[in-house]
Amino acid sequence: MLGFEKEEVYAARGVKHVPSYTDGTTRDAVSTLFCGDAAGKMYKPLVLFDGIMHLKSMFDNTDGKLYIAVNGSGCVVLCDGHYSHVNNAQLFKLCRDSGKDIKLICLPAGQTDKLQPLHNCTFGCMKVKWTNYKASKRLDSSFEITRNTFAGHLALHCTPEASRFSFEFEAPLKSGFKNTGILPFSPERIRATVDKELAAQDAPVLPVLTKESSPMKDVSKILRSIVSGDEDKINASIESIASIYGGHKSVAETVVAAAGKAFSFSKPKEQKKPKDQRLALERGRNVLDTEYVAAIKNEIGHDRL
C-alpha cells in the first residue's frame, strides 16, 4: 500500500467520522514480485505496472537494484481459499469480460503462511519497516509515494545498511525455509503445520446480488416510484444496497460516504505534473534503469537520422 495507513486530523470533539479529500493515490497498490533462496539470498525484485508504456519516472533512483516491467496483455491472480474468493461469480465474470487474459489460481485455504517461506517470515519483517518508513516521513511535505515513484523508494529499502529501514533478507529467508519444512526438508514439520483436510471455512455463501437479479429489480421499481427522474441517485442507491448485502461495506461506511458527498468542500488546487518520458518496449520485458537510458538514447539517435 502506497499511502499512510492511519491519518491524523483535527475535528470537533465527539465526531467519529470526518469526510476528507485525497489525491486518489493514497490507497494505490503496486504489484511487486520477490524471489529468494534458502541460502538467504534475495534476488532483484520485479515491479510490475499495468499498461504498455515504460515511463522514465518508474526508473528514478532505482540504480539497477530492481527490474521494471509493464503488462498490458494479461495477468495471473493468486487468491487464498477464502469462500468469498472461491464462490465469487462476480470476480469470475469481471475477469472473463475484461478482454484480457486473466487466470485465477486458488491456493489451499489458510495455508499460505505454512507453504510459502517468504510469507512465513520475510514479508512480515518487510511490512514493519515499510510502515515505519512512511510514518517517519509524515511531516515532510516534499515526501511523496506514487505509482511511478514507488520503485525508487523500494530500491532504497533493498540496499543493505542504507538506512535503518533497509530490509533484512538473509536471516528471515533462512527462517522461512526452515519453518515451512522445505529446507532442511522435514515431512514431520509439514504434517504438523499444514491442515491435512484442507477444509474450507465454514461460512454461509450468500447468493450473488446484482442489478439484474429479481430482488434488485423490485427494489428499483420501488425507488423509481419514490425518486422519479433521478436515475443517478437510483443507481447509486442500488449499488449501496448490493455492497452492504455482499459484505463489501457496512451500513455505517455507506452512510458516511453518502454524507461526505452531500457536503461541499473546497477541493485542493490541481498541481501540474512534470512531463514524463515514455517508451514502448516489449510487453512483459524486465528492464533495468541503465537499459532504459540506453533505449532512450538509441531512439533519439534514430529520430535525428
The average pLDDT across 118-140 equals 89
Q: What percent of the chain has pLDDT over 90?
A: 17
> Picking from 47-56, 114-123, 213-222, which range would have the lowest pLDDT averaged per residue?
213-222
**Predicted local confidence at residue 1, as pLDDT:** 52
Cell of 291: 537499459
- Cβ–Cβ < 8 Å for 215, 209: yes
**Predicted local confidence at residue 279, as pLDDT:** 75
- Cβ–Cβ < 8 Å for 170, 160: no
**Predicted local confidence at residue 168, as pLDDT:** 92
Tell me: pLDDT of 166 over 90: yes
- Cβ–Cβ < 8 Å for 152, 55: no
Tell me: pLDDT of 109 over 70: no
Q: Residues near 242 by Cβ (< 8 Å), separated by ≥ 6?
A: 209, 210, 211, 216
Q: How confident is the model at residue 202 (pLDDT cuts 50, 70, 90)?
A: very low
Closest CA to 72 of 298, 233, 282: 282
Task: Tell me the CA distances in angstroms from 62 to 16, 23, 285, one per residue in order.
Answer: 41, 25, 17
> Picking from 22-31, 38-47, 120-129, 218-227, which range would have the lowest pLDDT averaged per residue?
22-31
Tell me: pLDDT of 19 over 70: no
Average pLDDT over the chain, rounded to an integer: 76
The average pLDDT across 94-100 equals 79
